[in-house]
Amino acid sequence: MPIHEIRHPLVRHKIGLMREGDVSTKKFRELTAEIARLLAYEACKDFPLETVEIDGWAGPVRIERIKGKKVTVVPILRAGLGMLDGVLDMVPSAKVSVVGIARDEETLQPVPYFEKFVGQLDERMALIIDPMLATGGSLAATVDMLKRKGCRQVRALVLVAAPEGIALMNAQHPDVDIFTASIDSHLDGQGYIIPGLGDAGDKIFGTR
């Protein structure tokens, strides 16, 4: 199933705190990182393991470790950066790729303006991070970019998802699993998610 709404009480509690109208920048940033950790934990739960033998304190011991190339985390500028530390807390050896997407004000289409990807994307799982899945344009464009580079395993972590964005992703990238703390009601006329969190980038960076 491509959309996973995490119903864990800690996630439900924390996303509720983020909806406070007068939430401080500090609190919003902390909660973003905390939920990012929990979403990352969920998104990694089916990663394949391999068994290896190591020298333990009492002699050889067989341990399990995650198999394959290191994951790449892909924050979408700017708000995605707010989730980066939380995800790296859970996956500390991940490599980081960065994508910047702007919106063409005439066509309203997403236009990539920055990309810096790590190598060997064909062998890595990509975890895209962006707090708000609104229309889905930026997320779909980021998946397009990753797939053009050969990446075949893509997941997305978003704090809040709108049905409109989920529908676009289902239509364009049904192979991408999305992990979210909440599926909200709808987009308003300006493209904000209702009830949503407001402008997540402004709240993370204190620019509102």
According to the binding rule CB under 6 A, does residue 192 interact with ligand URA? yes
In the complex, least distance from residue 184 CB atom to ligand URA, rounded to whole angstroms: 9
Largest interatomic CA distance in the chain:
67
According to the binding rule CB under 6 A, does residue 137 interact with ligand URA? no
**147-183 burial, b for 16+ CB within 10 Å, e for fewer?**
bebebebbbbbbbbbbebbbebbeeebeebbbbbbbb
According to the binding rule CB under 6 A, does residue 199 interact with ligand URA? yes
According to the binding rule CB under 6 A, does residue 134 interact with ligand URA? yes
Q: Which is nearer to ligand URA, 90 or 139 (CB)?
A: 139
In the complex, least distance from residue 149 CB atom to ligand URA, rounded to whole angstroms: 25
In the complex, least distance from residue 196 CB atom to ligand URA, rounded to whole angstroms: 4
Q: Quote the Cα angle for 162-169-40, to 5°.
A: 75
Sign, CA torsion 88/206/14/166: negative
Interface size with ligand URA, residues (CB under 6 A): 10
Q: Which is nearer to ligand URA, 79 or 168 (CB)?
A: 79
Q: Which is nearer to ligand URA, 99 or 118 (CB)?
A: 99
CB of 197 within 8 A of CB of 132?
Answer: yes
Residue 63 in tokens: 């341990």
According to the binding rule CB under 6 A, does residue 205 interact with ligand URA? no
C-alpha to C-alpha distance for 185 and 173, rounded to whole angstroms: 22
Residues that bind ligand URA (CB under 6 A): 79, 132, 134, 191-193, 196, 199-201
